[in-house]
Structure 1
Amino acid sequence: MRVQLGVAVVDVVMDAVDDDDFVHPIFQRAPGEDGGTDTSRLYRYQAEVAAQACLAMLTRDEIEYVVCEWHEDFAIAFKNGAVELVSVKHRQYHRTLWNVGDLCKDGGLAHLFNSWRACGSADNVRLRLTTNGALNTGKGNAAVLARMCGPDPEVTAGVDAMATTVAQHFLKIRWKQPYPHIPVVPEAKRMADIAIPDGFVTTIKHFLAVLHIDYKKVPSLRFITDHNIQQLLRPAILALELDHVDDEATYRRIVERIEQANRGEGERGQLAEYIATPSRALHNVQMQQRIARRTLYPHTVREEFVYRELTVPTFSPGRLPMIAPGGVNLRKKLVRGHVPDDEVAHAESLRSAWYVAWVEHRSGLPGDSYDLANMRLEVLDTAFDCRADAQSETAEGSPYGARMNRLLRQRLTPDAMSATLPIKINSKHLRGLAYQLCDDCDYFFSDVFDVSEEEAS
């Protein structure tokens, strides 16, 4: 079944921030009842973990989109129809190691299980718990549980006993937490006395087979920003062959975009039901709109890129100038307008400079085409004005192309343009664009003529 919708996982552990986290002295004296600061920083941590998936979309074609939730976690939708529900738990270093009970309750495994069951235990739904907390490596403890998870577990011995333990923890948690997809059983004083319903251990084993516990080398709140920039964003910038990207500003924009998506409405229970039957959402416009506000695609991430204000060189240093394709029409028009031969050759060079600058330095975002369209209009409008003024300043019937070319040189400057491009260009680039528009037959340096019948000189 192809899933078109995502659901994120809730139930966040609100531990305090690491004691050794750097805090500017001015903020060390917080006003009374300022518990929300630690909470907001942990929500920021969740957004930064989600940013890892969003950055992966830039270089991994198999990821289709990421869906964020209200102050919670996220879901990754893959192009093959699979969906991974991700729960994020930050645990500070001075806390004890996660044991099985901790993972089930505070670590959110019970919540993940409930969400998975809400999706009908669909074959295309898998689960991931991401935590920076170290796992207890004792016999039959949390580290062993992690190695038992997934479709190809490292440890296969003792799975029945572990599934039984997890089942008992879930049933105990259910006494206090309203998880509708965990059965209610009579309370007992001892874990061993909890009555496990028939088939529940088998269901837990299926749950473990679609679960991955990610805890090795997961950065903490203190280090995740630097890790994401160095290990994910910068390699993506290189792979995309983008120039002049301000990586730190770009990363902040991406995380803020995720936090904006996190501020959408909640109702995660309804989303969990829709993921199992995506066709239902087609008949619920309101649900579609809510999901859309939380959804980030690769192009959404690319739109948050911030570029440094550097002027693109007329030609890239260290390379021979590339000759732009075309140019025959431009030469014919300049010659018909009596533009001197050396200026014709220079016009060809500038047209190539524009071509190279645009191909090599544009951002690659969908907005490029709109920016270029607006700039083309301004350049063309300026060319028409230059032609009209050149005609008025030249004797009737005399060639005016040379005068028009000089006016283009005077008037086509970046400061004179109200339109902007995703790259900072100079006046030579603008004139190159003007010459490209002429080669495209958008205007002439003389009366209109059939360029296909004109001999090139």
Structure 2
Amino acid sequence: MSREEDAATATQYLLSVEPTDDAGARTADLFEWQAAMAAADGLGMYWDTLDDQGRFTEPENCRIVCEYHEDWVAVRGDAAELVSAKHKETSFGAYTTVRSLLEDGGLAHLFQRWAMLGERPKCRLVTSPGLRPGAPQDLEKAARYLRDRGQAGAAPTITGGPEKVVTDFAAALAAYAADLPLWRNGQQGRGYIPTAEQRDQVTRFLSMLTIEHSRPSRAFISHAAPGMFVKPLLEQRLDAPVTSAEAVWEAVLTLFRIRMRAAGPRPRGDLPQVLAYPLGVTTTDRVEAERRLAPRTVTLAEIDLAVRTALTHPGAYRRLPTLRRTTRLAVKMQEGGCSDNAIERAEHLKRDYRRIWSRRVGGDPTARADRERLVRRLLRIADEATRAVTAPDQPWGDQLWVELQRLVDELSEVAPQPGLDADLLLGGLCDLADQCKIWFSAAFDVQAAIDALRARQEATS
């Protein structure tokens, strides 16, 4: 079978084969990041369908199928690309070894799925970490070299090319591919020398692989996406105002959020298929697959409709403004990354603490001295907690809040304060923070921050 004939069957074969696993469950943040990366792919495909006047011509069978085989499949006509999206926290750093790419980056799973699908689809790894110089970057260069040869019409071969990279990758891969036909020889392990057939298969895989690394992490993607993925589309293809970039992004992202949960609408809704299989008419596997995958599929026509609707009614997709407290305590906790619930609780405890001492000071001449002793103790607790949680490159206010609660719990057990339980002691710390004696982040001009926040709220009201 020629390469052209083989490619022509990729989509039909891929969509008709059931995945060996169908786990799409993710935590909310990681799910949002994957949906954002899939939406970026969808906008990239949509870009290619627009002419210089921004007119959309829907291509045949051009779509993205979510959470199928891998995180999604990009389909263009008879060509298909498996996409695996792997997010890592900033503490992960970069991929430092080939083994890390196989395990943490998911290349081993991607290779297995590609091989099980008859080596038909192209493959892509989309990931947030970068690649460290050495073996990881050499692997990316080898994949690019072999891919370029294939695009130029040459057979993917390592003769005169990246022989060592292919051999090292095959040797590392052997520990993960034992279920595949060419890898069932039981000799995997340190010092393993791959066979010629295994090296050839790895060569074919790398010739169809793209590694797309250093993508924005989940902490930044919501802020970066409108500028990175939508603004160029509005400026260069649609001649639309870039002020609508956030609305367009939210409209397109919403499509992918729904379809990645396999919850997309079917054209017929839930109406039954009446006389779907009349006598003498054959329904192909591909038609059945397309019908079954409709809830997971995002078409370019749907993306076009979402984009045009958001441009016409941008206000419908803008996020509702959040009403923020403008007390010194609230602004400082917000700067430190504390949740809204934590801030509300802190404000409540602060008021209770002040009410208790207002009553005591009014009726007990020794209460002021007792309060000052407690303040010194609370400041010591705050100092200890701050040293325990301070992080130079990320918000640490939420961790401080947890640590303060832990320390006042201990204080209540070891040295109970008359009339003050652990929650009221935490309220004392909140009162000190409101006086700018305790911080949930590096110190800053609190009054300027309050003035700016009030100005923004007045502008959006």
Question: Which has the larger helix fraction?
Answer: 2
